[in-house]
Structure 1
């Protein structure tokens, strides 16, 4: 594998309680719970785990409480080899908690931010960065700390508020969002404008794959077929693998193909990023399932694609 840069990830660390239901919940209705899990979660924590299992060195900037959930989160991340020197322990605050409901046709999350509201600013000289759901002060510090290097931002539901700050970053930000979030910032009508103001735009579409846009144009990247079990952390894993592909020197297109394969692996497991296979098994699964040009990123060769679209690059 290519020698990857040391990634810094900033954002939420939670305890995830994931409920699987036999029917989609509806107003005043009752749904039977068919199974549930409790595990480490939070967008930034999930991405840090995925990065570590993909073979990257990673530092996490976040905050947890001094409660039992905080102890468990720190222990779980430490086992993954994540650098926790920038993770604060916040007295008198509960560790963040998310309750996720996965029905046959719906996915809904309820979030208690807790200690996540106390997340500190990103230290200077952080290098390539992934930022999730950041308060403005954290996003601003992340862009400054990257010192001209790659920033991958996934602002989540706060994308409309975060976008003006992102667009001030002089085309250094790869913006990742889902279809709903993309609609919140104007949708397809703004693609031409955003292509000129971002390093790249990546819009995820679940089972329909994703599409990518940068100075080279717009391309649709199909999803990798998977037997969906639990979509928790699929987007976080996608974003992490996208960053790995770009950090390895790959084109935007090949990095997105690698990300699609990584997301396919995670949705077949229950419990999010922590349920990903170990590094060797994960890399083996990606080698079997990723597009050939994306597989080269794992093997240390960021080769151009053979379909004439390898020119898409944002790094």
Structure 2
């Protein structure tokens, strides 16, 4: 029997019930079993009622953990501890719905490739109020990416990680990043340094409805900046950080020039500005500038 511990964090989101129902509907290969762990990051266990109601009659055991620090790294680490001796850990978010073959496709990809971690896409679902420039560039979907042709990190919105007996069992999410974001990027970078091999499975899909509050340039710009800060963790040591910062400065300058050239096109102008903000974030990360807090509030 192979056990996959599915871990997700929740903070004042009733949508977690839909996430759980999508997990209960998973079409699993023979011999594969799930255990589901929900880490509640609110001061009071506000998600307990929704989780327990959704879990009534569930085909797999569901555990609600109260990790009351308003720090998502604390909640993610509580999920790792609760995974115990599971063979694999799967990650997704509390506002996502997994396709019925999600787990099966992640496991299948790991089996075919020999990978220790597999990352899939989180596909954004937009409402009718979404601006055209957001739809055209699909800024809210999260697609796993390569770096110089290799996969060196990933995200917890859609991931599978080998767990039992691995060299990275002691790795944990950094609490210092638990309110600013980027804790998953840093975590998987550390796992990669422990020797884990990564792969991408574009067919292992989860979907996420985008709330109206996120349909703004300001929200996306903040996300790009934080992503750049998080990626800076890939550079180890002062020489590597200096090289990365220098490269990012050059790219930010090129993006600024491209934004000027494409001023007549709103879609292209915004694209280059956001790309430049990403690279500015990389520079800020290399300089260890303070990251703003985005977790621990009721804002989406």
Tell me the TM-score normalized by structure 2.
0.30
**Higher strand fraction (1 or 2):** 1
Task: Between the two structures, name the one with larger relative contact order (CA 8 Å, sep ≥ 6).
Answer: 2
* Larger-Rg structure: 2
